Chains A and B, each alone.
Chain A
Amino acid sequence: MKPTLELMRDVLDHDVVDVDGVRCGMVDDIEFAEGAAGAPVLAALLVGPGAWQERLPALLAVVSAWLFGRARTRVPWGEVAELTQSVKLARRASELGLGRLDRKAATWLKRLPGA
């Protein structure tokens, strides 16, 4: 890991990959908490439409909330195992509530031959 971390460049908008190497979203936003002496401390990664919508122009945010909902998953910073080109997590996506729609679509697709 590099000695200094550039959050905007090295974390935000990077792939999130779980412990099994399964992609389970992107770092759509970053949450800070107030640390000792009031300094901001990195608290969690936010994943999902509810996180990226806040980065859109207002009108688009309303339209996309209507289209995709406002769900978002909070991944505590402590769950991050390694930072490379992607953000690697220490646990499985299902344990952290990530990749839900993929699993839902999979249960439906499984019925087809060759899936």
Chain B
Amino acid sequence: MGKFAEVFLGILTAMGGFVEIGELTFTLNAGRRFEYALLWIVLLGTVGIMVYCEMAGRIAAVKHQAVFSLIRERDGFSAGLLTLVAASLVNVLTCAAEVGGVALLWQLLSGWPYRALLLAALVFFVVVVWSTPFEWIERIFGLGGLLMIVFMVLAVRLEPDWASVAAGFAPSLPRPAGGRDTLMYTFYGVALLSSIMLPYETYFYAAGGIEDRWKPSDVTLNRVVVIVGFSLGALLSVSLVLIGAEFFKPRSLDPALPGTAALAAADSFGNIGLYVALLGMFFAFAGAAIETALSAAYNLAQFAGWPWGLDKRPRDASRFALAWIAVFVLATVVVMTGIDPISVVEYSIVFSVVVLPLSYFPVLAVARDRGIMGPYANGPLANALGWFYLVLITVAALAALPLFVATHAGQG
């Protein structure tokens, strides 16, 4: 195992970002509405999240500094606090959606009441994170999330027109261009980009590198972990777009619940397909719940200067431990109100695009600084890509809210 097992940090991070409950249904819907026309956004977003996670991971390996320490240091106290508040909101809302998603999956399998299962999910998460070392959380939920590969197999089995799929990777507008369709397409494009580049992935990934005690010699490992993890996440996203286009569109089905996604697997592979898909979704949602809850606690602890990390006993990082427990409790309370987990995620995606520039600027500022990073500072490629994506997400952040309002959150 050893170094090889580090790849699960990348897989867990990517799964929690690419196929959590919100993005799962959102990506299926993007395929159902626009077929392959948004595939290029998946590619664009994936390269973007790779660039920033690689930088954040490199800073973690070389300087053992986590993202929120950088945010406070470089954005200043007030802008940093604003980022912390917005990021915490995104984390709690996303965590709420995932806790809800896990309870929905358990309900499908058991038929027990939803609210009782929400409480069971809360106990499950607190016990798992309390008692499991970080490296085993990575391995269990990263490995379990690999069951989602069933959706990749399914996408191939649906025999899409590969020439049209390839054409989808070139930037385009829907035809006929202009009017309502273009507005919807732009909203979906911005939201998809934002949901792939979710900031909590970077917070979690860098903190995970520090939890795993990366050293400067691990910068190549960091690169491999990022490329493998996020390529896998991207392939899953592409598969979901294809399934949306090939399975849900012709049947006029609206994949509004996670269970509907499993139906597509059941249709092709029978009961085994159904159970593998449900189990894969369970690990992906649970991984995302843990990722967002821990990310919220990491952020708070890093911003306030508390001891943090799952490698410490809870008594040695007491406020950090109380913080992640509080996030799970708050998240459960949010979904207990009966609010639909998927709509919760839609709001959190819009919030997260707004904090993207504030989160990513400090990472770029430090990663490119030779005075701090020495020989491990960005090369010209990382700098060029970093600046390109910083401009792109700033434009996306400015466009997100008006688009959200104008399209009624993508409802048309």
Contact = CB atoms under 8 A, between A and B. Distances in A.
Classify the secondary structure of B's interface with A: helix
A109 B315 contact: yes
Contact of A26 (B65, B304, B317, B321): B304
A16 B305 contact: yes
B370 interface: no
B305 A26 contact: yes
A15 B69 contact: yes
Contacts of B372: 85
Contacts of A37: none
A68 to B, nearest CB: 10
A93 to B, nearest CB: 10
A114 B381 CA distance: 46
A108 B69 CA distance: 27
Interface residues of B, number: 30
A55 B78 contact: yes
Interface string A85-106: 1000000000000010111011
Interface string B351-375: 0000000000000000000001000
Q: Which among B73, B80, B301 has the highest number of chain A CB atoms within 10 Å?
A: B73
Given A13-B77, A23-B305, A102 B63 contact: no
Interface residues of A, number: 29
B315 A26 contact: no
A28 to B, nearest CB: 8
Interface string B283-310: 0000000000000000001011111100
B130 interface: yes
A106 B306 CA distance: 12
Nearest to A2: B371
Classify the secondary structure of A's interface with B: mixed
A109 B314 CA distance: 7
Contacts of B307: 22-23, 99, 102
A46 interface: no
Interface string A46-78: 010000100111000000000000000000000
Contacts of A52: 77
A1 interface: no
Contacts of A101: 319
Contacts of B130: 114
B370 to A, nearest CB: 13
B316 interface: yes
B72 interface: yes
Interface in A1-30: 9, 13-16, 22-26, 28
B314 A26 contact: no
Contacts of A103: 318
Given A13-B73, A14-B73, A114-B131, A105 B305 contact: no
B76 interface: yes
Contacts of A112: 314
A23 B210 CA distance: 14
Interface of B: 63-65, 69, 72-73, 76-78, 80-81, 130-131, 301, 303-308, 313-319, 321-322, 372
Given A23-B301, A102-B319, A105-B322, 14 more contacts: A9-B73, A15-B69, A15-B305, A25-B305, A56-B77, A56-B81, A85-B372, A99-B307, A102-B306, A105-B318, A106-B315, A109-B321, A114-B314, A115-B321
